[in-house]
Amino acid sequence: MVDMKKIVSLCKRRGIIFQSSEVYGGVGSVWDYGPVGVELKNNVKAAWWKSNVYGRDDMVGLDAAILMHPQTWEASGHITSFADLLVDCKKCKKRFRQDQLKDKKSCPECEGELTDSRKFNLMFKTSIGPVEEKGSAIYLRPETAQGIFLNFVNVLNSSRKRLPFGIAQIGKAFRNEITTGNFTFRCREFEQMEIEYFVRPDDDQKWYDYWVDERFSWYSRFGIDRKNLRLRQHKKEETAHYAKSCHDIEYNFPFGWSELEGIANRTDFDLSQHAKVSGKELVYFDDEKKKNIVPYVIEPSGGVDRALLAFLVDSYHEEKVRNEKRTVLKLHKELAPVKAAVFPLLKNKPEIVEMARKIREDLSGDYNAAYDDTASIGRLYRRQDEIGTPYCVTVDVQSLDDKKVTVRDRDTMEQDRVPVDALRKVIKERLGER
């Protein structure tokens, strides 16, 4: 298992993840995705969207706003219950989440005495409008789910979906986490990929089991080794206030097994609560029963940043090639930030450079393709291996005559000569192979 330090250093070196506001000393647990990272993140989100929205007839998408009516959070229970128990060390003044401490009495860092626990709400509070006054308080959403519940009737009426059907959403969420660390695993600003899947109340268990299975296999379909994934059912006392049951999909991170995604049976809790607090009917007309019902909800809720981190860790390989270390991300090709990189073998030969640049331009019609001539060919290959580029294309002197280029495969490192005319088609086909 790779050390987290290596992942953090690779991320910085190759433009995957940087600390937010680094020039000012950084902001704790807030991260920026660099030129390579943003591609990887977009690909993770696109893979999720493709599987869950485009791939299904029973799902539609949504993009709700981050700021929502403050009553949302009263109804959902976040104002009263979305809190961790916090303790402070009287000696070193560090803060901890009580549930994460083995010894509840003394500080894990300096063994100092701990204060009594108190509730700490994880929502970021700000104000809306020009005057900061009572009544103008508003929160940054701590989960995307509530935007889906509030739009349930809008989506139902405009999409004409019948039960069972789901609404999928990807978006930012914010939590003022007490304990942070482990790189992007626990951020204060992060992205969620959530589905609220509405079902008939009698069908809830069937669909719950279905989504636990489906979401578990999604991670392995995109390359995560099954032996690094496991399911963990929540014990009664840890199940959230709104849920009937909950399973976590956990990944074997270098810092231990930790949650990647949670699948919860939220019952009719949210729709009922919002109906009660808003006074609006949030119901579905059941054609079979000929009456209005409040659907139950199965919620698979995953984090983009956590999934991305797991994909990075799982694909990280160090190999010895001709006595030299090769670091390579064996990412699923669909997730790879750059699909093909084109190099001129000699950068002082204008015809070769021109041909290489033209090839990159041509390939970029299909996907993100890169051109690089800033180092020796060996270095260029290593750079692309480190970001998981599946194919490297080299243009050499012979290419000018025979109109063929060398294509090198990231995983096998095998090379073959491909006619320039057929290159776009060949790489596209090879990328299609799983």
| Cβ closest to ligand ATP, residue 266 vs residue 306 | 306
- Which one, 17 or 260, has the nearer CB to ligand ATP? 260
DSSP one-letter code for 337:
S
Q: What is the DSSP letter of 271?
A: H
Site residues, ligand ATP (CB under 6 A): 143, 175, 177, 186-187, 190, 192, 259-262, 301-303, 305-306
Least distance to ligand ATP, CB of residue 168, Å: 14
Minimum distance from residue 279 beta carbon to ligand ATP (Å): 28
Q: How far is the CB of 278 from ligand ATP (least distance, A)?
A: 23
* Helix or strand (DSSP H, E) at 63: none
- Considering the complex, what minimum distance in angstroms separates the CB of residue 187 from ligand ATP? 4
CA dist., res. 310 & res. 315, Å (int): 8
- Name, in order, each residue with C-beta under 8 angstroms of 364's C-beta and a sequence gap of 6 or more: none
- Asked if residue 108 lies in contact with residue 102, where contact means CB atoms within 8 angstroms, the answer is yes
Of 71, 66, 107, 100, nearest in space to 84 by CA: 100
Shortest distance (Å) from residue 265 CB to ligand ATP: 13
* Three-state SS at 100: helix
Alpha-carbon dihedral 192, 196, 197, 203, rounded to 10 degrees? 120
Token pair 């060919």 is found at 377
Q: Least distance to ligand ATP from the beta carbon of 270, Å?
A: 14
**Smaller CB distance to ligand ATP: residue 233 or 374?**
233
Q: Rounded to 5 degrees, what angle do the CA atoms 359, 364, 368 make? A: 125
Q: Which is nearer to ligand ATP, 268 or 305 (CB)?
A: 305
The nearer residue to ligand ATP, 167 or 260, going by C-beta atoms, is 260
Helix (H, G, I), strand (E, B), or coil: what is residue 9? Answer: helix
Q: Which is nearer to ligand ATP, 168 or 328 (CB)?
A: 168
CA distance 145 to 77: 13
Smallest distance, ligand ATP to C-beta of residue 68, A: 16
Count of C-beta atoms within a 10 Å radius of residue 151: 16
* Minimum CB distance to ligand ATP smaller for 148 or for 187: 187
Measured at CB, which residue is nearest to ligand ATP? 303
Closest distance between ligand ATP and the C-beta of residue 212, in Å? 13
Q: How far from 195 is each of 48, 168, 172, 395, CA to CA, in Å?
A: 11, 4, 14, 46
88 or 143: whose CB is closer to ligand ATP?
143
